[in-house]
């Protein structure tokens, strides 16, 4: 039996991959995997239960028992994230969870623990997968791979605006600094570092708005499928 097709969109934080992946999944009527949400949900659990990352056995024991659910009501919807019977959809977006997610993402056992879970999302009619290592490790045989980049300053501004819209205040300088640290860790870790697969299509979104990125991606996708 043929496997369902996959399109991967990888890149650093606030490069636009989340928004575009979701728009694309909706447009195609495909499933949507927000792999960062799984890392963020694990991070939420670790922070909530004050788990020590240095005790790897205890950490893995904890993560094995942690019940994370991603619930999308319709195909292509961004999932609601539940853990310990709590809706943590909003909580996981805080930078505290992003930072911890990045620390967890640098631990090989943690990545191995969720590898199959991510691959299991590959279902018909197809999957759009968003993350850091979707095209390199999780779905190396994906039909189409994109890698988004954007200047750090621009990405920090986007994150700053997103936070303001949510009523969360922050300084642009702090956001940019935290972003640099997180990108640095994600790009330089030993396992599955965030990097473009050799066969990925690179898109620099620095000077592009969302409709412009989406139409470029859609054109490529329609040409392929």
Given the rule CB under 6 A, which residues bind ligand DC? 13, 35-36, 39-40, 98, 101-102, 105, 131-133, 182, 186
CB of 1 to ligand DC, least distance (A): 26
State the DSSP string of 206-219.
TT--HHHHHHHHHH
What sign for the dihedral angle of Cα 143, 187, 180, 100?
A: positive
Residue closer to ligand DC by CB (options 26, 99) is 99
Residue closer to ligand DC by CB (options 172, 222) is 172
CB of 197 to ligand DC, least distance (A): 13
Distances (CA, A) of 96 to 19, 64, 99, 126, 179: 21, 22, 5, 32, 12
Query: Which residues, 6+ apart, have CB-to-CB distance to 12 below 8 Å?
Result: 132, 148, 149, 150, 155, 179, 183, 186, 187, 194
CB of 50 to ligand DC, least distance (A): 20
Residue closer to ligand DC by CB (options 153, 222) is 153
Structure tokens at 131: 């993350």
Query: Which residues, 6+ apart, have CB-to-CB distance to 127 below 8 Å?
Result: 4, 5, 6, 7, 25, 30, 31, 32, 33, 121, 139
Cβ atoms of 7 and 142 closer than 8 Å: yes
Structure tokens at 20: 């575009």
CB of 163 to ligand DC, least distance (A): 13
Residue closer to ligand DC by CB (options 133, 144) is 133
Residue closer to ligand DC by CB (options 113, 182) is 182
Q: Which residue is nearest to ligand DC (CB)?
A: 36
CB of 124 to ligand DC, least distance (A): 22
């Amino acid at each position: 039996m043929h496997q369902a097709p996959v399109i991967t969109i990888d890149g650093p934080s606030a490069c636009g991959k989340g928004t575009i992946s979701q728009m694309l999944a909706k447009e195609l009527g495909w499933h949507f995997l927000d792999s960062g949400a799984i890392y963020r949900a694990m991070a939420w659990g670790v922070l909530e239960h004050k788990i020590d990352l240095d005790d790897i056995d205890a950490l893995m024991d904890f993560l094995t028992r942690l019940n994370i659910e991603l619930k999308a009501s319709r195909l292509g919807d961004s999932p609601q994230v539940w853990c310990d019977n709590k809706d943590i959809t909003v909580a996981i977006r805080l930078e505290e969870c992003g930072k911890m997610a990045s620390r967890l993402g640098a631990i090989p056992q943690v990545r191995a623990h969720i590898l199959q879970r991510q691959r299991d999302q590959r279902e018909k009619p197809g999957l759009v997968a968003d993350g850091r290592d979707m095209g390199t490790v999780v779905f190396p045989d994906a039909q189409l791979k994109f890698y988004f980049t954007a200047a750090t300053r621009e990405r920090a501004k986007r994150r700053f605006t997103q936070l303001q819209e949510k009523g969360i205040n922050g300084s642009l300088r702090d956001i940019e600094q935290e972003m640099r640290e997180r990108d640095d860790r994600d790009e330089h870790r030993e396992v599955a570092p965030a990097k473009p697969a050799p066969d990925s299509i690179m898109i620099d979104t620095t000077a592009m708005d969302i409709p412009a990125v989406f139409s470029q991606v859609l054109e490529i996708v329609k040409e392929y499928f």
